[in-house]
Structure 1
């Protein structure tokens, strides 16, 4: 193959056994793997570690600064190399925003089958990631690359925040409102794409949401009424909501009719375009979720649908709800909506889903 000839290369998504955040190890298996690691020594400066499965680690540098550190990488979710790089970089940077921080720099993680992909294709993946980092105002200051069987790309990202503005996923309070910043359905769209059933408009919607930086995070963290922040990624809305519930030892109530969905994904899910990760997610935590008796199979699939570069999930006081929604609107998140509430304290937190059909629906 010529160093610049990409015409004979296979589709990127055909080289990966799973794409995007759907590559995550299933939540039940991950819990087994990590069992016992919390017993490791922890310095007093470590504000956030692995104890609540939060989005990033946070280390207090001094009274004015806390360092946020995270890493995220995965296999291709799309076939266009530049788009793959953009999605992966946006997804990785999101974890800093989800802690309430401002990203300051990134390191690239690159694993590529160099006997299969040309330098031109690999370069386009890196260019896509660099374009997103420029949009976020940060440099890619280094990284590491290996020759691997499957293409892998992502970032280590570091950020800064005032220690008082770090927002964990474990600090929700009973009575809080839950707000979701982006619509669900990325996993469904990716499944349709892999099977050649996604039209151009669907692809455009998928790219628009997966490459939109969660820049509202630091401004949300500055609001005193915002108690907890996380982002919805590979474990789906139900999985990440349950992490929030467990950390706060509270129950959560989600009103499904209020949850924003990407256009067309419910119909695609009903046709069977669902990722394998959705089922693995449900196997890992479904026993902790209460659904209405008539809850449709496609809605259940969307509830556990793995989101790549998904939206921020905010737990805030009801009195600050309008302000939270206004912040999302200023940052261009027109689909942001209140989707539920945090309810009573509970040593065995659960997630309950209700569904009230919108007025006038059939």
Structure 2
């Protein structure tokens, strides 16, 4: 679709569509650039307030994934006539509270009537042009880390089917409303350059983007990937969203597949690697010699962190069973 369009070129546009990064970056001067993104989606939980908070955290994450600090946002919403405006107010309240937590001002927005509710944010942030995090900066020899577990797609699909345990849903919500702000700041402080956040393409899909844009091979140990409680059981029972199948077909099947399955990987783990994630963690690489200090900093800040693989020469993503070395 996009190949049919001709986009403007501007030397001040440091990151645009051509690099498929998480947000656009526009240089203002030598020391400052704007980071801008937009993200919205239908409800993933039943509670209107929590839906708003999750959608806001998800949108803000794109700025954090670029190493930016968001400061301004606009609401974007679609709302059916058969749902009350009081519910929409709760959605907005959830988004507002999450924005306040991030130090972001919501200055307005736009709402339309639609058959299906949708909500999200247009987010503007600032970043140092010399310290942008990007999918294209991974280098062989670096280690690969993740800051949140996966499995939200399986759990929210089970919720929609009425079979999810409340404790599993509550745990997933806790992860989805968690901001990636502190994690992003720690990455910048320790010299990380390659990063993305894990969302709709699943862990394997977003890892593929790093591999492609950086011209490297990522090796991911399936058993090292953190998975939310309950997600494996729901995936085993077939409670995966349609997006998981589409992700797997696009990234791992056919002659041009870029994600390769190694031996000894259970089908349930393989499937969850393609499970669409809502408001997921940061996926990043760091030089091996800097990794111990970074791990200590995450622990001191109370931030979760999992080493799930490494970067090597080559191309694509190899999924292996265990992490070695």
* TM-score bracket, shorter-length normalisation: over 0.9
Assess, with a 3 A threshold, how the Cα gap between structure 1 residues 233 and 147 changes in structure 2: closer, same or farther.
same
Residues 65-115 of structure 1: CA deviation (Å, up to 9, x unaligned):
1100000000011111001101000000000100001111100001101x2
Assess, with a 3 A threshold, how the Cα gap between structure 1 residues 331 and 89 changes in structure 2: closer, same or farther.
farther
Residue 46 (structure 1) shift: 0.8
Question: Which residue is 1:337 aligned to?
Answer: 306
For residue 2 of structure 2, the aligned residue among 17, 28, 34 is: 34
C-alpha distance in structure 2 between counterparts of 1:50 and 1:237, whole Å: 21
C-alpha distance in structure 2 between counterparts of 1:198 and 1:88, whole Å: 21
Question: Which residue is 2:82 aligned to?
Answer: 116
TM-score, length-normalised on structure 1? 0.85
For residue 136 of structure 1, the aligned residue among 95, 102, 111 is: 102
Q: Does residue 297 of structure 1 match 2:267?
A: yes
Stretches of structure 1 that go unaligned for 5 or more consecutive residues are 1-32
For residue 58 of structure 2, give the secondary structure of its aligned residue in structure 1.
helix
Question: Which residue is 2:93 aligned to?
Answer: 127
Question: Which residue is 2:236 aligned to?
Answer: 270
For residue 24 of structure 2, the aligned residue among 51, 57, 61 is: 57
For residue 51 of structure 1, give the secondary structure of its aligned residue in structure 2.
helix
Question: Which residue is 1:87 aligned to?
Answer: 54
C-alpha distance in structure 1 between counterparts of 2:148 and 2:299, whole Å: 11
C-alpha distance in structure 2 between counterparts of 1:35 and 1:357, whole Å: 39
C-alpha distance in structure 2 between counterparts of 1:331 and 1:83, whole Å: 25
C-alpha distance in structure 2 between counterparts of 1:261 and 1:328, whole Å: 19
C-alpha distance in structure 2 between counterparts of 1:53 and 1:323, whole Å: 30
Residues 232-252 of structure 1: CA deviation (Å, up to 9, x unaligned):
000000000000001011111
C-alpha distance in structure 2 between counterparts of 1:111 and 1:308, whole Å: 19
Assess, with a 3 A threshold, how the Cα gap between structure 1 residues 36 and 251 changes in structure 2: closer, same or farther.
farther
For residue 211 of structure 1, the aligned residue among 177, 180, 188 is: 177
C-alpha contact (below 8 Å) 2:22/2:62 kept by paired residues: yes
Between the two proteins, the alignment pairs up a number of residues equal to 319
Q: Does residue 317 of structure 1 match 2:287?
A: yes
Question: Which residue is 1:28 aligned to?
Answer: none
C-alpha distance in structure 2 between counterparts of 1:95 and 1:314, whole Å: 13
TM-score, length-normalised on structure 2? 0.95
Stretches of structure 2 that go unaligned for 5 or more consecutive residues are none
Off by >6 Å, runs of 4+ in structure 1: none
